[in-house]
Homo-oligomer: A and B are copies of this chain.
Amino acid sequence: MAAARPTLDDLFAELRARGLRATTARRAVLAELLVAGDTHLTADELARRIHADHPAVHLSTVYRTLDALAEAGLIAVARFADQPVTYHLAGDVHHHAVCTACGATINLPAEVLAPVQRRLARDHGFVADPRHLTITGTCAACVDGAARPSPSER
């Protein structure tokens, strides 16, 4: 079920298969997303990293590329609270539990949602294709540790 992590060339081929043109900017974006693994990157972070090798690639191009890749289903989009949108390669679909106290996030395998999907199907005939959920709550550490400074506060 979980596709093995693809190579850059796989991704690039996939991209061309969808009728998108093979450009340096796009290769760079895919390369960075590949390096990032399951980390989530914003358009800006992505652009910054790309600038190291390709100073000419413009932020707006990164946005356009991300749009294209998302539309093509190559990447997934995740939005956390009021932070800027983040992206990561599709195929590694997962969800998040975010601690509202300390900001910690736990990655959850896609299948945690299975029961919900079943229920939606049964009750509403709704075929769920959950791409990215964020479940808020309190992590174990904060539950018993109670008050504690927040590492990734706004």
Write the chain B residue with the least CB distance to A99: B126
Name the B residues within 8 Å of A126 (CB-CB).
Answer: 97, 99, 106, 137-140
Contact A135 B140 (CB under 8 A): no
User: Does the CB pair A112–B119 fall under 8 Å?
Assistant: yes
Q: Are B137's CB and A120's CB within 8 A?
A: yes
Contacts of A138 in B (CB 8 A): 126-127, 129
Q: Is the CB of A51 closer than 8 A to any CB of chain B?
A: no
Instruction: Scan residues 112-154 of chain A and give those whose CB is less than 8 A from a CB of chain B.
Output: 112-113, 115-116, 119-120, 124-131, 133-140, 143
A49 proximal to B (CB < 8 A): no
A sample of 29 inter-chain contacts (CB < 8 A) reads: A82-B85, A97-B124, A97-B126, A99-B126, A100-B129, A106-B126, A112-B119, A113-B135, A115-B115, A116-B116, A120-B135, A124-B139, A124-B140, A125-B139, A125-B140, A125-B143, A126-B137, A126-B139, A126-B140, A127-B137, A127-B143, A128-B135, A129-B136, A130-B135, A130-B136, A131-B136, A133-B133, A133-B134, A133-B135
Closest 6 CB pairs of A and B: A125-B140, A128-B137, A115-B115, A129-B137, A127-B138, A130-B135
